[in-house]
Amino acid sequence: MLVLRPYPKPTERLNEYLIRLCYVNGFFKISELLSVLGMRPVKQAQMGQWAPHHLKALNEVLTKALGRPCDDVIALHSRNDSDKWLFGYDRTLAELIVDFPRICVHCVNEEKAMDWRWAIGTAARCPKHLTPLIDSCPHCDKPLMWDANILEFCPKCKKSWDITGTEVVEPLSQLEKDLWPAIDGNINVTEKQLQELTYAMYMAARPFDVMIQRYGRIPFSRNHYQLVLNGLALLTSEDYRSKWVKACQRYWKNYPGYINPVRLFLENVEIVDTGVSCQSFGFNERTEFIQKARVQYVKDKDKDQPIYHVDIFLLAKALNLSVSDSTILFEAKTFPMVNKSFVGNHKMMKSKIFNIKDIIKKVKSFAKGPKAHTSYTCITENSASLVRHLCQYGDVVNALSYQNRFTVISTMRLI
């Protein structure tokens, strides 16, 4: 039986409570505590999503160790299941509770406890102290761990948290205040606002990228709070967006304007310019937000290539072709894929990735229009000859990638 047997605090979920239970009883890791209590090891990754059989085993050992029924402790894991805003299927980042620990160093110094709301991926700063919720040590840069030492110092380098900083910090914007929920889980933002913010956060992580790939859970990337603040700046600061436009010119000035990341972003969100300066942290590409299928075939010399990745829909838009015509060119291998593992799997069409930079090089010669010559035949998407010959426009374009007897007059807008 444990010597100190605290009850859960209103601000705790399961992991936060277990960390405090470790701390007051002289243990470091949750796994160490559970092992002493007689529970079989649980992998660190599984502690973000406790399986039912793990919860059952945890209930049994804690009931003995605390000398009381522990249903209230186990219920902490699902305490926010009724808060539907914590998960949204239509968001770029679906689940808002993150797996990695985040803390306000001032709060842990004062309370020696963690707040479940620090784990919300759309929260950037502590509303009480106005300081960032850190996920990495300011001294050694190592990611924080679920370790009881986190309540006093960095579990890696053992240096104490600096709580003497006197730098001037900006007050929370109204949107930041609304994004911070009450202890019971009530929040003052709409689902639409959460959808737009998670999209903005992804764009902040990939500021020059036009391809959006959804994540079920938010991946770890150092200083997550900066990502949130940059996302908020994209939504509320005209000055920040203007700087973004200029930065994008480096990559997209020679490409169609309608697949520029800035234009795509503005088409999908509702901008609310507050006129108040926003704290932001430049435009840094976060590789943690590039899925493996996009980079495993990219050569080292082409490190910027993922920026030019598009799916079949953006590809069709860029070439002013229909999706079906673009699919014909893909199936004929005229348009090569980046993620080659998906070749032949037509059910995964939405997951197929192309490099617009390479494809434009292939089709530019067809976009210049015909020269005056009597032997040329003009064909468009609506030409009756396509129906007579039982083929689609994509079949003609594909044929011309191998033969030059005709010139295609397409409406490709590449030049």
In this structure, are residues 359 and 321 in contact, taking their beta carbons and an 8 Å threshold? no
Which pLDDT does position 8 carry in this prediction? 96
Which pLDDT does position 409 carry in this prediction? 37
The answer, yes or no, to whether residue 147 has pLDDT greater than 90, is yes
pLDDT over 70, % of the chain? 81
Q: Of 35-39, 120-124, 228-232, 269-273, which range is least confident?
A: 269-273
Give the list of residues 6+ apart from residue 23 with CB closer than 8 angstroms, or none: 112, 148, 151
Task: Return the HEC string of the chain.
Answer: CCCCCCCCCCCCCHHHHHHHHHHHCCCCEHHHHHHHHCCCCCCHHHHCCCCHHHHHHHHHHHHHHHCCCCHHHHHHHHCCCCCHHHECCCCCEEECECCCCCECHHHHHHHCCCCHHHHECCCCECCCCCCECECECCCCCCECCCEHHHHCECCCCCCECCCCCCCCCCCCCHHHHHHCCCCCCCCCCCHHHHHHHHHHHHHHHCCCCCCCCCEEECCCCCCHHHHHHHHHHHHHCHHHHHHHHHHHHHHHCCCCHHHCHHHHHHHHCCCCCCCCCCCCCCCCCCHHHCCHHHHCCCCHHHCCHHHHEECHHHHHHHHCCCHHHHHHHHHCCCCCCCCHHHCCCHHHHHHCCEEHHHHHHHHHHHCCCCCCCCCCCCCCCCCHHHHHCCCCHHHHHHHHCCCCCCCCCCCCCCC
The answer, yes or no, to whether residue 397 has pLDDT greater than 80, is no
* Residue pLDDT, tens place only, 299-314: 555 556 788 888 888 8
Higher pLDDT, 257 or 53: 53
Q: Which pair of tokens denotes residue 1?
A: 């039986």
Q: Of 92-101, 167-176, 221-230, 271-280, which range is least confident?
A: 271-280
The answer, yes or no, to whether residue 344 has pLDDT greater than 70, is no
Q: Of 19-28, 71-80, 403-412, which range is least confident?
A: 403-412
Which pLDDT does position 198 carry in this prediction? 96
Of 51, 53, 123, which Cα lies nearest the Cα of 86?
Answer: 123
Residue matched to tokens 């030019």: 308
Which pLDDT does position 351 carry in this prediction? 76
In this structure, are residues 150 and 106 in contact, taking their beta carbons and an 8 Å threshold? no
Which pLDDT does position 411 carry in this prediction? 40
Rounded average pLDDT over 364-375: 55
Which pLDDT does position 41 carry in this prediction? 80
Q: Of 81-90, 318-327, 402-411, which range is least confident?
A: 402-411
Higher pLDDT, 398 or 107: 107
Which pLDDT does position 327 carry in this prediction? 78
Q: Of 81-95, 180-194, 287-301, which range is least confident?
A: 287-301
Rounded average pLDDT over 173-187: 93
Q: Which pair of tokens denotes residue 275?
A: 């006129």
CA 226, 228, 233: angle at the middle one, nearest 5? 90
One-letter amino acid for residue 172 of the chain = L
For the chain, what is the mean pLDDT? 84
Higher pLDDT, 17 or 381: 17
408 — pLDDT class (breaks 50, 70, 90)? very low
Which pLDDT does position 414 carry in this prediction? 39
Which pLDDT does position 182 carry in this prediction? 95
138 — pLDDT class (breaks 50, 70, 90)? very high
pLDDT over 90, % of the chain? 52
384 — pLDDT class (breaks 50, 70, 90)? low
410 — pLDDT class (breaks 50, 70, 90)? very low
* Residue pLDDT, tens place only, 45-80: 777 788 999 999 999 999 999 999 999 999 999 988
The answer, yes or no, to whether residue 189 has pLDDT greater than 90, is yes
pTM equals 0.85
Long-range Cβ contacts of 317-321 (<8 Å, 24+ apart): 317/258, 317/259, 318/255, 318/256, 318/258, 318/259, 318/356, 318/360, 318/414, 319/359, 319/363, 319/412, 319/414, 320/410, 320/411, 320/412, 320/413, 321/393, 321/394, 321/397, 321/410, 321/412
